[in-house]
Chains A and B, each alone.
Chain A
Amino acid sequence: MAQPAAHTEHQQHPIKLYLVVWGLLFVLSLFSYLVDYLHLQGYLRWGLILIFMTLKAGLIVAIFMHMAWERLALVYAVVLPPILVLVFVAMMVSESHYVLFSRMTFFGAGP
C-alpha cells in the first residue's frame, strides 16, 4: 500500500463513539428548540442558546472532524483565528450602535 499506515491506524474509533455523539447532538438540539418553545427571554435565553451552540459546535469539530486526535499545534492554528474574529464582532456591535444612533437622530422616530 502506497499510503503510510500511520494515519489510517490513527482514526480507528468504535462506532459506538459516533452514535453517542449523535445522540448528544440530538439532545442538545432538542434543548435549543425548547428554549424557543418555552418562550424563555432575555439573558437566560441568549445564554442557553450560546451554551448549547458551543457544545454542539465543539462536539462536531472534536469528534466528527477528528480534531480531538490532532496535534495541539494544528488545533491552535484552526481554533484560535475564529476566536480572534470576535474582535471584529465587537467592532461591528460598536458600529451598529452608532448607525442606529445616527438613524434615530437624523431620520426621526426610533423603535
Chain B
Amino acid sequence: MSARMSTTVAWPNPSEVFALHIGGEHVPLILIAIMTFVLISSSGTMAMAVNFGYRRDRRKTAILMLLTALFGAAFVGMQAFEWTKLISEGVRPWGNPWGAAQFGSTFFMITGFHGTHVTIGVIFLIIIARKVWRGDFDQEKKGFFTSRKGQYEIVEITGLYWHFVDLVWVFIFAFFYLW
C-alpha cells in the first residue's frame, strides 16, 4: 500500500494491463473477471461439499470437493497464463513499460502468494476428497500423522481454508485490480 501511494511515477492502469482481445474486441480486465467468477464458483461447490459432509453423504461430498479442486486448478492455470502474458510484455519486479516500477513487484508478490495458497488448497482438497471417497471418516480410520480418529470435521476445516483463500481474492480483486 505504501509502495503504491508513495510512487512519484503514475501507476499503470490495471484495466488496460489485464485487457484481452477476444474476437477483435478489446475487453478490459476480462481475464480477472473470469478468474473471480471461477473462484466464487469453487467456493459455492465447497460450501455444498461441507453441507453434504455433515449429512455423511460420501459420494456427493467427494464429487463436490473434486469439482472445487477442478475450479481451483482452472484458476491457477489462468493465473499462469496471466503471468506468462505479462512477462512476455516486459513486466519485471523492477520495472514495466507502463509506469511505476513497484507495479511489477507488488503484482508478482501478491498474486504469487495467493496462487501458491490456491495450489496448496487444490492438493489438500484432492487428498481429503480421496479419504472421503474411500470412507475413512465413516470407519473413523486414523490419519497418517495422527492417532486421532478420522471425522467429517476435516471437510469443514478444508472448507474454511478454501473460503479464506477466496476471501483474500475478494480483497485483491478490489484493491489491486479494480482500485
Interface residues of A (CB under 8 A from B): 2-3, 8, 11-13, 15, 18-19, 21-22, 25-26, 29, 32-33, 35-37, 45-46, 49-50, 52-53, 56-57, 60-61, 63-66, 89, 92-93, 95-97, 99-100, 103-104, 107, 109-111
Contacts and interface: CB of A to CB of B under 8 A. Distances in A.
Interface stretch (B42-50, B77-85, B88-96, B120-128): B42-50
A37 B28 contact: yes
Interface in B1-34: 1-2, 5-10, 15, 28-29, 33
B110 interface: no
Given A22-B41, A26-B40, A36-B28, A100 B8 contact: yes
A46 B51 CA distance: 35
B29 A18 contact: no
Nearest to A18: B47
A33 B47 CA distance: 24
B43 A99 contact: no
B54 A11 contact: yes
Contacts, number: 117
Contact of A36 (B46, B51, B166, B178): B178
B87 interface: no
Tell me the interface secondary structure of chain B in the complex.
Answer: helix
A26 B44 CA distance: 10
Contact of A57 (B2, B37, B167): B167
B163 A60 contact: yes
Contact of A65 (B5, B54, B163): B163
Nearest to A63: B47
Contacts of B149: 2
Contacts of A104: 8
Contacts of B156: 11, 66
Nearest to A95: B2
A53 to B, nearest CB: 4
B80 to A, nearest CB: 22
Given A15-B51, A33-B33, A53-B174, A64 B43 contact: yes
Contacts of A111: 7-10
A92 B1 CA distance: 7
B151 interface: yes
Interface in B141-179: 149, 151-153, 156, 159-160, 163-164, 166-167, 170-171, 173-174, 177-179
Given A57-B167, A57-B170, A64-B43, A18 B48 contact: yes
Contacts of B2: 92, 95-96, 99
A45 B179 CA distance: 8
A99 B8 CA distance: 10
Contacts of A12: 51, 54-55
